[in-house]
């Protein structure tokens, strides 16, 4: 009877009812819409990017015989990625950044003045590779000049004469006060000035040389600088400005043309490390990378450790500073 009543309706009304049944009542078009996979939620995307970064890193390290430790954070989005980020590693010259923080802190507290004079002392006749090694022992330079040389050209004598004045213990006390549990300055370069931290844990820390840290805490220190919370906003800005002028770009800055970078690398016979902030258009990416157990001692710019760090930087920037996908479909070609 219902079917008979349907056919007695005017043909236009009947056609309208039939279309409503097909489109709204479980017909094929609606079933097709229900079968389409849901779009990924915003919360799923960081996890997917992290998984992809992990896959890429595993592929890159498949033939590498040493170890890699890294941690990175997009300071604008909060996204992070790491590989053994809480493992303690040798810092090499990246420990000079915490030393710089202590220099700025002591100047702010009136314990030091930027114009105070420091005498060049060359206790160890090793090829330093810096500037002060070439000057006559006893020549005096200012605290500010020593601080800049320590960071900009990684001058080891500048580092040592600063540590003679401020001490490794003061550096470590400041780090502890700032909430850092793992970063520690252990001694001067080539020996001397051992910290009480190192003395109380000598057997454990002897293997780390001049400094020890974790990748996660080094990134936290960089973030503290970028947030203006190290000593003061003005001091933090000046420290980052000095790091932006440092002259070794074999690792983090190797392939970054036209991109601002504030970093400090380190090198030992079988180790390369680099910490820094890359100021991309998609966020400020803070990172700390250590490549350990390099099989060949090679200090040239094309050394394996430098190239590996540069590859890891590419991976981190692709993952953490990836451009947002456009929702607009591309036109067919």
pLDDT for 322-331, tens place per residue? 665 443 444 4
CB atoms within 10 A of CB 87: 15
Give percent above pLDDT 70 in the chain. Answer: 82
Q: Is the dihedral of CA 275, 47, 51, 321 positive or negative?
A: negative
pLDDT confidence of residue 122: 81
Pairing of strands 67-74, 89-90: unpaired
3-state SS class at 214: coil
In 3D, which of 267, 269, 282 has the Cα closest to residue 317?
Answer: 282
**How confident is the model over 175-179, as a mean pLDDT?**
98
Task: Using the CB atoms, write b or e for 216-235: b if 16+ within 10 Å.
Answer: bbbbbbbbbbbeeebbeeeb
Per DSSP, helices labelled H in the chain are 2-8, 11-24, 28-35, 44-61, 96-108, 143-152, 156-166, 168-177, 196-200, 202-205, 215-226, 233-244, 304-320
Task: Answer with the residue of higher pLDDT: 4 or 199.
Answer: 199
What is the CATH code of the structural domain delimited by 51-87+214-321? 3.40.710.10
**How confident is the model over 72-84, as a mean pLDDT?**
97
User: What are the sequence ranges of the domains in the chain?
Assistant: 51-87+214-321
Kindly tell me the burial class for residue 267, based on how many C-beta atoms sit within 10 Å of its own C-beta (0-12, 13-18, 19 or more): buried
Residues in Cβ contact with 32 at an 8 Å cutoff, skipping those fewer than 6 apart:
none
Model pTM score = 0.84
CA distance 99 to 194: 14
What does the block give as tokens for 108? Answer: 């702010």
Question: What is the residue-averaged pLDDT of the chain?
Answer: 87
CA distance 92 to 100: 15
pLDDT for 272-299, tens place per residue? 999 999 999 999 999 999 999 999 999 9
**Is residue 183 over pLDDT 80?**
yes
CA distance 307 to 303: 7
**Is residue 30 over pLDDT 50?**
no
Would you mind telling me the total number of residues written for the chain in this entry?
333
**Is residue 62 over pLDDT 50?**
yes
pLDDT confidence of residue 198: 83
CA distances from 182 to 91, 111, 206, 277, 290 (A): 11, 26, 15, 20, 15
Give percent above pLDDT 90 in the chain. Answer: 74
pLDDT confidence of residue 124: 65
pLDDT confidence of residue 46: 84
C-beta of residue 114 within 8 angstroms of C-beta of residue 107: yes
**How confident is the model over 181-201, as a mean pLDDT?**
91
Task: Answer with the residue of higher pLDDT: 37 or 309.
Answer: 309
When pLDDT is cut at 50, 70 and 90, the band that residue 257 belongs to is very high
**Is residue 105 over pLDDT 70?**
yes
pLDDT confidence of residue 197: 87
Q: Which of 23-32, 41-50, 67-76, 165-174 has the weakest average pLDDT?
A: 23-32
When pLDDT is cut at 50, 70 and 90, the band that residue 91 belongs to is very high
């Amino acid at each position: 009877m219902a079917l008979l009543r349907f056919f007695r309706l005017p043909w236009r009304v009947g056609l309208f009812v039939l279309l409503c049944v097909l489109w709204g009542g479980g017909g094929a078009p609606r079933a097709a819409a229900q079968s389409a996979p849901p779009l990924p939620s915003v919360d799923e995307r960081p996890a997917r990017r992290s998984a992809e970064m992990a896959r890429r890193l595993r592929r890159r390290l498949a033939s590498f015989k040493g170890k890699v430790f890294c941690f990175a954070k997009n300071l604008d989005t909060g996204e992070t990625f790491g590989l053994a980020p809480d493992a303690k590693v040798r810092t090499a010259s990246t420990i000079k950044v915490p030393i710089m923080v202590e220099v700025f802190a002591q100047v702010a507290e009136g314990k030091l003045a930027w114009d105070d004079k420091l005498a060049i002392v060359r206790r160890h006749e090793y090829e330093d590779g810096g500037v002060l090694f070439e000057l006559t022992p006893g020549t005096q330079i200012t605290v500010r000049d020593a601080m800049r040389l320590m960071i900009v050209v990684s001058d080891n004598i500048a580092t040592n004469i600063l540590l003679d004045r401020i001490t490794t213990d003061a550096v470590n006390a400041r780090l502890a006060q700032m909430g850092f549990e793992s970063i520690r300055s252990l001694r001067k370069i080539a020996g001397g000035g051992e910290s009480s931290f190192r003395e109380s844990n000598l057997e454990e820390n002897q293997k780390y040389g001049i400094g020890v840290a974790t990748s996660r805490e080094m990134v936290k220190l960089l973030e503290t600088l970028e947030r203006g919370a190290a000593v003061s906003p003005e001091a933090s800005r000046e420290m980052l400005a000095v790091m932006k002028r440092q002259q070794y770009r074999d690792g983090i800055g190797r392939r970054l043309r036209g991109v601002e970078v504030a970093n400090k690398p380190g090198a030992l016979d079988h180790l390369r490390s680099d910490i820094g902030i890359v100021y991309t258009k998609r966020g400020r990416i803070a990172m700390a990378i250590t490549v350990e157990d390099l099989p060949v001692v090679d200090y040239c710019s094309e050394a394996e450790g430098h190239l590996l760090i540069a590859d890891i930087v590419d991976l981190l920037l692709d993952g953490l500073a990836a451009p947002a996908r456009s929702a607009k479909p591309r036109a067919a070609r």
